Amino acid sequence: MATDVMAEPVAATGVKIKSELMQQRVRAAQLFLLPMLLALAVVAGWPLLRSIYFSFTDASLNDLDGAQWIGFGNYLRWQTLESGAVRYRGVLADPAWWNAVWNTMRFAVVSVSLEAVLGMGVALVLNAEFRGRGIVRAAILIPWAIPTIVSAKMWSWMLNDQFGILNDLGMRLGLLSQKVAWTATAETAMQAVLVVDIWKTTPFMALLILAGLQMVPKDIYEAADLDGVHPVKQFFRITLPLVRPALMVAIIFRLLDALRIFDLIYVLTPNSSATKTMSVLARENLFDFDKFSYGSAMSTLLFLIIAILTILYIWLGKVRFDGGDR
């Protein structure tokens, strides 16, 4: 790689000059990194530490400075009643929190698996040579380009119970016997969210997988054809193993993204406990319910979950950080 050669910029000019050059470069590099590091410390590092700190205090929205340290009280505390029964309180004993955890996990797993399967399908189509491929590629970029809020609004109009086109279509095709309030009914709200998310994000998945597919040399397939290997077998024995690294990266990126979902759910199914995720619940507590420290505890827990998964990703994905393959 280029970076390996960089260690010796001009190999023939002697050791002394070389090391001076090296030192100059390293000093410059440190200077160049400074603005970025400062910026990240101010917008990411410090706020993260403060959020975690707030989760151990009794801070309220209007009195951040007067926050008192209360330990793990926001996470879990208990008191023994006179009757001898123990009452648990805090996020970890809050049914609303566990409902949000369940919603988030369910959403993340279902949406990402379906997106991976559909994305693979779209990628396989786009990888074939056919007329009009450019049009398809352009078409699938449209859902990706549309802002999430806009797609949430567009779909909530299409899913509207009285005037929505999807109810109309379903009735015409005989799939529905009566109009359904997709986003308002507890049973269908999560399905509606899943449909919109899958619609919006499958293109991203497909493009990442397509990049992997295009790296597979064509002559492998020619050889397999000559040997009379069935196309389905070719897919499972050749294509899938070869695109697996690209697929894994795409899946984990999407998984981390799905776990923090906020905007789609906030707009498509406001105040529905059937879809409320960790992010939505945390923000609600932080700014709408005036339980600032309680909300901070929730956001800290979500951060922990995502941090663990990120570490797993870096470890399992074998992402190399030192001039490696990326």
Partner 1 sequence: MGATIDLWKIAKTIMFYAVVVFIVVVSVFPFYYAILTSFKSGTDIFRVSYWPVSFSFDNYTAVFNQGSFPRNLLNSVFVASVTVILALFMAVTAAFALSRVRFRGRGFLLMVILAVSMFPQIAVLAGLFEVIRFLGIYNTPWALIFSYTIFTLPFTVWVLTTFMRDLPIEIEEAAIVDGATPWVIITRVFMPLMWPALVTTGLLAFIGAWNEFLFALTFTSSNDTRTVPVAIALLSGGSQYEIPWGIIMAASVIVTVPLVVLVLIFQRKIVSGLTAGGVKG
Looking at the Cβ atoms of 109 and 307, the one nearer to partner 1 is 307
CB of 81 to partner 1, least distance (A): 32
Q: Which of residues 201-220 bind partner 1 (CB under 8 A)?
A: 201, 203-204, 207-208, 211
Looking at the Cβ atoms of 67 and 224, the one nearer to partner 1 is 67
CB of 160 to partner 1, least distance (A): 8
Q: What sign has the CA pseudo-torsion 240, 246, 252, 258?
A: negative
CB of 312 to partner 1, least distance (A): 12
When computed from its CA atoms, the radius of gyration of the chain, rounded to whole angstroms, is 26
Q: Which of residues 107-126 bind partner 1 (CB under 8 A)?
A: 121-122, 125
- What mask of x and - would describe binding to partner 1 in positions 125 to 154, judged by CB under 8 A? x--x-x-x--xxxxxxxxxxxxxxxxxxxx
Q: What is the 3-state secondary structure (H, E, C) of 215-249?
A: CCCHHHHHHHHHCCCCHHHHHHHHHHHHHHHHHHH
CB atoms within 10 A of CB 309: 15
CB of 36 to partner 1, least distance (A): 4
User: What are residue 89's phi and psi, to 5 degrees?
Assistant: -135, 175
Cβ pair 103, 275 in contact under 8 A: yes
CB of 236 to partner 1, least distance (A): 20
Question: Does residue number 223 form part of the binding site for partner 1 (CB under 8 A)?
Answer: no
**In this chain, which of 75, 243, 259, 275 binds partner 1, going by CB under 8 A?**
259
Query: In sequence order, what are the residues at sequence separation of 6 or more whose Cβ sits closer than 8 angstroms to the Cβ of residue 300?
Result: 51, 52, 55
**In this chain, which of 19, 20, 64, 223 binds partner 1, going by CB under 8 A?**
64
Structure token digits, residue 96: 């609303």
Q: Which of residues 5-24 bind partner 1 (CB under 8 A)?
A: 5-7, 9-10, 21, 24
Q: What sign has the CA pseudo-torsion 208, 212, 218, 222?
A: negative
Question: Does residue number 248 form part of the binding site for partner 1 (CB under 8 A)?
Answer: no
Question: Does residue number 43 form part of the binding site for partner 1 (CB under 8 A)?
Answer: yes
Task: Please tell me what DSSP assigns to residue 284.
Answer: I
